[in-house]
């Protein structure tokens, strides 16, 4: 009976969860054993006939999780049980050469790398798709002036498309991070008990190179009994960064969907219920789910950093928690990416409301540009600042429009004529370099998806 939501099918795609299923994990281990035997035979570490038999039996599909668990119940060692299951199928001539020169964590760590390799082949394109969707929206809404908010307050004019361009560049950078970390994270280790390759001697490094090539991994430069956990911590940290960006986007969508702002809205399908009590509610549940799952994923960074510090050449204090953190980080990020893709695909953007919100402060959003115009007319900056502040606060008390208040102020109107102020109060006059920025980001996204 499923206990965790991941097990029940609530979170994560089937393709990503299959990578971490028990039988899949066992199959990765068996492929590793087969590849090691074949590579060792190529450089005369073990007999070719034995290697061929070991590889055939390991890949036969006859070794099941159920059998390995039965053997593990006796040995209380999961890797030893897997090796024993292979041995049961092999002849006496091949048996001595199974798992030759290896230690259990050669199997475990290389299996993790294989799982991460295949996970990234699923995750990376999803990040690329989101980057492209964001860039597309940036281009579509590039000429729509909107309220730019800082500290939750109206600050100045922003291109609505620029919001999406910032996020698109973040996602493109995450793809670059993933590609850069692969050579450090997707590593193969076959160097035995304390990392010397002792039983394979001077041929140990050559064997490791051959195995890594077979498995599309990178040979580890140096290790103890285990791969240094800095590598796994980097992977979790990278995924936590991606989760944080998705959370950032989700939070902005949630804020912009507030009834008082109402500039965007998550897709809401026919028959969907926003609230069990209030029939009219359309809650941003997918964005909230993203934020919720991000908190779990980000919390795993602390565990991963703690795992770096092990006793001497290794201890087991990392082992149990990695059975949670690594699969969960991948599956939860996959769920977050899938949810964000759905949100962006159906995101409703109310341009009319965006334009209306520009006037929420009755023109005070143009204060930055009035200040700049006065400075250019020769008014000292602090003098201009105080004059605008006085006029704006006075207009707010009277519920008057900022433009009318400026025209009524002798100090300001002596410097800026009505025609000049009207130009300033045109929101499309203040998009500045937004279009160029969006074009640059679009090219960046296209480039990173091509390479």
Which of 121, 176, 198, 275 is the catalytic position? 275
- Is 283 contained in some domain? yes
Give the Cα separation of 164 and 268 in Å (integer): 21
One domain for residues 225 and 253: yes
Give the Cα separation of 417 and 435 in Å (integer): 29
One domain for residues 235 and 298: yes
- Is 438 contained in some domain? no
> In the prediction, which pLDDT does 451 show?
78
One domain for residues 141 and 83: no
> In the prediction, which pLDDT does 7 show?
81
> In the prediction, which pLDDT does 273 show?
65
In the predicted structure, residue 156 carries a pLDDT above the cut 70: yes
User: Which residue bears the tokens 């779990």?
Assistant: 296
Select from 357, 377, 393 the last residue of a domain: 357
> In the prediction, which pLDDT does 449 show?
80
Q: Which residues contact 154 (CB under 8 A, 6 or more apart)?
A: 147, 148, 360, 361, 364, 365
Instruction: Supply the DSSP symbol for 437.
Output: H
Of the candidates 46, 24, 25, 26, which has an alpha carbon nearest to the alpha carbon of residue 37? Answer: 46
Of the candidates 264, 242, 267, which has an alpha carbon nearest to the alpha carbon of residue 255? Answer: 264
- Is 3 contained in some domain? no
One domain for residues 268 and 353: yes
Select from 35, 66, 97 the last residue of a domain: 97
Give the Cα separation of 428 and 418 in Å (integer): 18
> In the prediction, which pLDDT does 274 show?
67
Q: Which residues contact 377 (CB under 8 A, 6 or more apart)?
A: 415, 416
- Is 429 contained in some domain? no
- Angle at the Cα of 96 from the Cα atoms of 90 and 99, rounded to 5 degrees: 85
Question: What's the CATH code of the domain at 277?
Answer: 1.20.200.10
Q: CA end-to-end span of the chain, whole Å?
A: 44
One domain for residues 63 and 125: no
Q: What is the pLDDT of residues 403-433, one digit of tens each?
A: 999 999 999 999 999 999 999 999 999 999 9
pLDDT band at 278 (very low <50, low <70, confident <90, very high): low
In this prediction the pTM is 0.94
In the predicted structure, residue 112 carries a pLDDT above the cut 70: yes
Q: How many domains does the chain have?
A: 3
Q: Are 20 and 327 in contact (CB under 8 A)?
A: yes
One domain for residues 417 and 289: no
One domain for residues 167 and 307: yes
- Is 435 contained in some domain? no
- Is 317 contained in some domain? yes
Question: What's the CATH code of the domain at 370?
Answer: 1.10.40.30
> In the prediction, which pLDDT does 276 show?
63
One domain for residues 196 and 116: yes
Q: What is the pLDDT of residues 291-329, one digit of tens each?
A: 999 999 999 999 999 999 999 999 999 999 999 999 999
pLDDT band at 280 (very low <50, low <70, confident <90, very high): low
Q: What is the pLDDT of residues 86-104, one digit of tens each?
A: 999 999 999 999 999 999 9
One domain for residues 51 and 173: no
Mean pLDDT score across all residues of the chain: 95
Select from 97, 127, 151 the last residue of a domain: 97
Give the Cα separation of 97 and 35 in Å (integer): 13
More confident residue, 3 or 423: 423
One domain for residues 181 and 226: yes
| Residue numbers of the domain that contains 370 | 364-424
Question: What's the CATH code of the domain at 56?
Answer: 1.10.275.10
- Is 447 contained in some domain? no
- Is 450 contained in some domain? no
Q: Is 174 a catalytic residue?
A: no
Kindly state the average pLDDT of the residues 177-182: 98
One domain for residues 147 and 65: no
Q: Is 151 a catalytic residue?
A: yes
One domain for residues 144 and 174: yes
pLDDT band at 9 (very low <50, low <70, confident <90, very high): confident
Give the Cα separation of 266 and 243 in Å (integer): 19
């Amino acid at each position: 009976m499923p206990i965790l939501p991941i097990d029940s099918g609530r979170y994560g795609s089937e393709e990503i969860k299959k990578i971490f299923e028990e039988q899949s994990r066992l199959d990765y281990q068996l492929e590793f054993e087969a590849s090691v035997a074949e590579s060792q035979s190529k450089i005369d570490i073990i007999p070719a006939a034995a290697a061929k038999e070991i590889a055939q039996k390991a890949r036969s599909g006859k070794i099941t999780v159920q059998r390995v668990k039965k053997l593990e119940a006796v040995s209380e060692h999961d890797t030893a049980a897997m090796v024993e299951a292979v041995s049961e199928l092999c002849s006496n001539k091949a048996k001595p050469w199974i798992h030759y020169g290896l230690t259990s964590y050669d199997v475990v760590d290389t299996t993790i790398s294989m799982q991460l390799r295949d996970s990234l082949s699923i995750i990376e394109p999803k990040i690329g798709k989101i980057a492209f969707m964001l860039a597309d929206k940036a281009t579509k809404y590039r000429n729509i002036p909107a309220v730019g908010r800082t500290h939750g307050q109206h600050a100045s004019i922003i291109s609505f498309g620029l919001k999406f361009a910032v996020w698109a560049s973040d996602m493109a950078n995450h793809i670059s991070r993933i590609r850069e970390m692969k050579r450090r994270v997707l590593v193969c280790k076959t160097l035995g008990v304390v990392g010397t390759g002792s039983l394979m001697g001077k041929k140990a490094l050559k064997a490791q190179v051959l195995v890594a090539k077979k498995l599309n991994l990178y040979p580890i430069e140096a290790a103890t009994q285990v791969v240094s956990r800095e590598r796994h911590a980097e992977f979790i940290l990278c995924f936590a960064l991606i989760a944080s960006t998705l959370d950032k986007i989700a939070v902005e969508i949630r804020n912009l969907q507030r009834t008082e702002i109402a500039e965007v809205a998550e897709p809401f399908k026919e028959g969907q219920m926003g609230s069990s009590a209030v029939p009219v509610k359309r809650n941003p549940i997918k964005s909230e789910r993203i934020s919720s799952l991000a908190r779990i994923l980000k919390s795993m960074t602390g565990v991963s950093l703690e795992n770096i510090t092990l006793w001497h050449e290794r201890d087991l204090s990392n082992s149990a928690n990695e059975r949670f953190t690594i699969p969960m980080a991948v599956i939860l990020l996959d769920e977050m990416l899938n949810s964000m893709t759905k949100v962006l695909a159906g995101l409703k953007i109310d341009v009319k409301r965006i334009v209306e919100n520009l006037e929420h402060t009755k023109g005070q959003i143009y204060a930055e540009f009035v200040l700049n115009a006065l400075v250019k007319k020769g008014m000292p900056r602090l003098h201009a600042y105080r004059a605008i502040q006085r006029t704006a606060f006075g207009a707010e008390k009277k519920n008057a429009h900022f433009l009318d208040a400026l025209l009524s102020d002798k100090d300001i109107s002596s410097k800026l004529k009505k025609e000049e102020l009207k130009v300033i109060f045109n929101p499309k006059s203040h998009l500045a370099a937004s279009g160029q920025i969006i074009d640059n980001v679009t090219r960046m996204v296209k480039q990173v998806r091509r390479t």
